[in-house]
Amino acid sequence: MMQDFAMHLLDLAHNSISAKATRLDLKVEESPSRDVFEISLSDDGCGMDEATVKKARNPFYTSRTTRRVGLGIPLLEGTTKQCAGKFHLRSTLGKGTVIGSTLPYKCIDRPPLGDVGQCVAMILQAAPTLHLTLDYAYESEKFRLDSDEIKATLGDVPIDEPEILLFIQSYVQEHIKALQHGGKSQ
């Protein structure tokens, strides 16, 4: 069981990395007023054919050989179902994969969003060459992080230096928190 959605994001991002994605777009939207909570990942990895997409939702399917279960996708689908949300998984072989969930924001069974800053930093630690973007929205307020923008600022300093990762982590945390609190006081 994943405690929060940031963990789902981190877990599913590893699928994209394994699929040799060069680009990964994360989207997170929170809207209490519209009762919407949405996360999605979109990558340009190797993708899956239709049969594999179906199998990927089965916990007893995995493409790996170290074990016989693959729980990442079924866990997100399970969490989504328990909140009567909508889960989607679309993939085109050779093009990439889009996976995500839309849930009612106010559902009592919905796990919290969790630490997206840590999630983003840990994805970049796993795959420093990845072009990663995060689009976060709270109601109509938006925050965007683009790893290429950070790399342009960094020059020849690697993005996976511990100090840089910690900066990215708190940079994301602070911006998300500010939007969430701004929204609450309105």
Query: Residue 83 is encoded by which pair of tokens?
Result: 């909140």
Q: Binding mask 97-116 vs another protein (x if CB under 8 A, - otherwise)?
A: ------------------x-
Stretch that binds another protein, among 35-43, 97-105, 131-139, 160-168 (CB under 8 A): 160-168
- Interhelix angle for 5-18 vs 72-82, to 10°? 150
163 binds another protein (CB under 8 A): yes
Tell me how far apart the alpha carbons of residues 47 and 70 are, in angstroms, rounded to a whole number.
17
For 20, 39, 109, 113, 123, the CA distances from 162, given in Å and listed in that order, are: 23, 27, 35, 24, 13
User: Please, which residue, 4 or 36, has the CB nearer to another protein?
Assistant: 4
Beta bridge partners of 78: none
| Residue 126 binding another protein, by CB under 8 A | yes
Please tell me what DSSP assigns to residue 21.
Answer: -
Is position 84 an interface residue for another protein (rule: CB under 8 A)? Answer: no
For binding to another protein (CB under 8 A), which residues are involved?
A: 1-2, 7, 10-11, 14, 18, 64, 66-67, 70-72, 75, 115, 118-119, 121-122, 125-126, 149-150, 153-158, 161-167, 169-171, 174-175, 178
